[in-house]
Chains A and B, each alone.
Chain A
Amino acid sequence: MSKLTLVQAVNDGLRTKMQEDASVLVLGEDVGPKGGVFLATEGLTAEFGEERCFDTPLSEDGIIGVGIGMAMNGMRPVCEIQFQDFIFPAFDQIVSEAAKMRYRSGGQYSVPMVIRTPYGGGIRGGLYHSQSGEAYFAHTAGLKVVIPSNPHDAKGLLISAIEDPDPVLFMEPKALYRAFRQEVPEGKYSVPLGSAQTLREGDDAVVFCYGAMVPVCQEAAGRIAEQKGQEVRVVDLRTLLPLDEDAVLDAAKACGRVVVVHEAPRFCGYGAELSALIAEHAIEYMEAPIVRVTGFDTPFPNTLEHYYLPDARRVTDALERVLDF
């Protein structure tokens, strides 16, 4: 065990799989000797050579397209898109190619590829270094979408993603890259995809969250316990596609009061899917409206980013609203 930050845990996960499996490769902009702009790939070129961890031209479409070809021909590429905001030139390759290859070829070809990308606000990055685009991808059959919220899960989920036979979009909450350290086991372990985790028990209300919103929701749950003496369950979804529907519905039914939190805009956001799922399958258990706390339906601001991002106070307000309904 050693205490690692989230970005160090990502690095450890990559190194662990690269040591174990020679077909695992890392490619992307500045991932080589520099080790990536966030140092997620630090030391990998030195340890594994330029054939295994290499810099690419500044071309997201090329990175993903080449990754798809490598994956179809026996490699396990881990492509880095430097900021999730830059992923859109590769949208076609991800959505129309990687996600559909197994299906459209009748199972003859498949794309075991991981796309790692830092997402989200809180780093003074303005509207092109702060977006949360998970909903675009969670809408795509054939993809898996994973978002860890802590170092332990980041390493375990990344190892599962690399071992997965299908393309996985692995979105890393860059606001949490160095926010805290956590005990992370050395060597290989995995956290399964498609499995949510309850981080705080409680049955007065439940808050569903993922990524950088998890600590925000934990803080809000603590405030409610302190101020109102009520216990809020905190469920970290960890994988958005495929969603752990049982975990969501079980928690919603047990608590009867639901808040859904994400920093992405609200309209057609991931919270809409969660709300609809609960409304469709557990409406009779609901004691209050399902409330969403999200970013606004605007582009991401710079100077005022902390007024855009949901914080513990906004989540606490929403929890009070459902608890007092």
Chain B
Amino acid sequence: MTETLQIINPAGEKVGKAPRVKREVLLRMYRAMASVRHFDDRCMKLQRTGRIGFSIPNLGIEAVSVGAAATLDPECDWIAPSYRDFGMAFFHGISVEKMMDTQFGNGEDHNKGRQMPVHFTFLDPIRFLSISSPIGTHLPQAVGVAMAMQRKQEKGVCLVSFGDGGTSSLGFHSGLNFAGVYKAPVVFLCQNNQWAISCPLEKQTASESIAIKGEAYGIPGVRVDGNDVLAVYRAVRDAVKKAREGGGPTLIEAVTMRMGGHSTSDDPSRYVDQELMEEWKLKDPLKRFREYLFAEGLLDEAGVEALDQELSEQIQAAAKAAAAKPRPGLETIFSDVYETFPAHLQVQRDQCIQHFAGRDESVNEEGEFPL
């Protein structure tokens, strides 16, 4: 079995060589991880009260997203995220307001209300590629983004994130295969959270690890403790540096545990052993990082409390504001299919708008997402 890199142990003690990270960056990392937790909590409440239709809990995996994203340069690097990577957006300063707009699918949502909640897309302040529900399709796309960087002689790197389930997909194979052949500046980050909805890792693959899968593609594989934000940071930082210098791709397996459901509609108690959950609760990534920051004298209880208070209020206000914003206009059903409007879409758009403008009965909008 490949060795698993750890820097902070579950008790918050330093057991490995910590990467050199500026104090302000460490605090930004902590803030991003805490933001995810507050945001998740709010989204769960919003979904349970019927205000939004769906969300994806990030509980337990915050260190993977944030530790990885913190190594990127937003000027030149791209993120091809999975749907469980809210922390990547928060670390790079994408506001809770923007995130909430997508959760509500309102008129200010960057996706214009066309995607389900969670399928965020951003251009700024970092390229955060459009999230797709089909699994693994973004891996070869990330390689293509990176191959374009090679051709433009840019120094950028594309970080692509996916789950353990994603390693079974067609895109995992084609993505790693192409990246290996062309030495693309891409970093493959597998968030091995042990579950693909209800399918456990041992039914996903018979491989001794996910990291080892890189070997067959000529790509080095690295395994890290995914609940240790500094270990994730160090592994991804090294892989990003290598890719930037023309050394080609790396596959990183961050071993963690999904501590919530697959989504707001999933009940993991039906298939996850409670004892296992109790075991993983002791490895909580946020608590572990907090203990570390306390020990290093970079944060204290009062600071944590103030931050929690601030985030809670900010996210609650963002949800309230997002809920109050008007919906996208009917014309957005038809725009952005192509850059310009073909004749048949102009006709359909005009008919649709006219049809609903002339109706006084309300539209039945019932519908609940079952997954």
Q: Which residues of A contact B (CB under 8 A)?
A: 25, 51, 56-57, 59, 61-62, 64-75, 77, 89, 92-93, 96-97, 101-110, 141-142, 144, 165-166, 194, 242-243, 245-246
Contact = CB atoms under 8 A, between A and B. Distances in A.
23 contacts: A25-B151, A59-B177, A61-B174, A64-B140, A65-B175, A66-B140, A66-B144, A66-B174, A69-B142, A69-B158, A70-B144, A70-B145, A70-B147, A70-B148, A75-B151, A97-B132, A104-B111, A106-B110, A106-B111, A106-B112, A108-B130, A141-B337, A243-B344
Interface in B137-185: 137, 139-152, 158, 170-171, 173-175, 177-178, 181
Contact of B343 (A75, A109, A245): A245
B104 to A, nearest CB: 14
Contacts, number: 145
Contact of B178 (A56, A102, A103, A242): A56
A65 B339 contact: no
B130 A69 contact: no
B134 A242 contact: no
B342 interface: yes
Interface in B82-137: 109-112, 114-115, 119, 121-123, 129-130, 132, 134, 137
B130 A59 contact: no
B24 interface: no
B342 A65 contact: no
B143 A66 contact: yes
Given A107-B335, A108-B122, A65 B140 contact: yes
A109 B137 contact: no
Interface residues of B, number: 47
A51 B184 CA distance: 13
B148 A96 contact: no
Nearest to B112: A106
Contacts of A71: 144
B78 A73 contact: yes
A104 B119 contact: yes
A74 B115 CA distance: 24
A24 B336 CA distance: 23
Given A62-B175, A65-B143, A69-B141, 15 more contacts: A61-B170, A65-B139, A69-B147, A69-B158, A97-B134, A97-B137, A102-B337, A103-B114, A104-B119, A105-B130, A106-B110, A106-B112, A109-B121, A165-B339, A242-B342
> A-B pairs with the 4 shortest C-beta distances?
A69-B144, A65-B140, A62-B174, A242-B342
A87 B121 CA distance: 28
A246 B344 CA distance: 10
Interface of B: 78, 109-112, 114-115, 119, 121-123, 129-130, 132, 134, 137, 139-152, 158, 170-171, 173-175, 177-178, 181, 335-339, 342-344
B121 A69 contact: no
A245 B140 CA distance: 36
A77 B114 CA distance: 27
A74 B178 contact: no
Given A61-B140, A65-B143, A69-B145, A105 B121 contact: yes
A307 to B, nearest CB: 36
A97 B175 CA distance: 15
Contact of A66 (B123, B132, B178): B178
A301 B33 CA distance: 60
Contacts of B134: 92, 96-97
Contacts of A74: 148, 152
Contacts of A141: 337
Contact of A106 (B121, B139, B148): B121
A92 B135 CA distance: 10
A102 B129 CA distance: 11
A67 B148 contact: no
A93 B137 contact: yes
B343 A89 contact: no
B338 A166 contact: yes
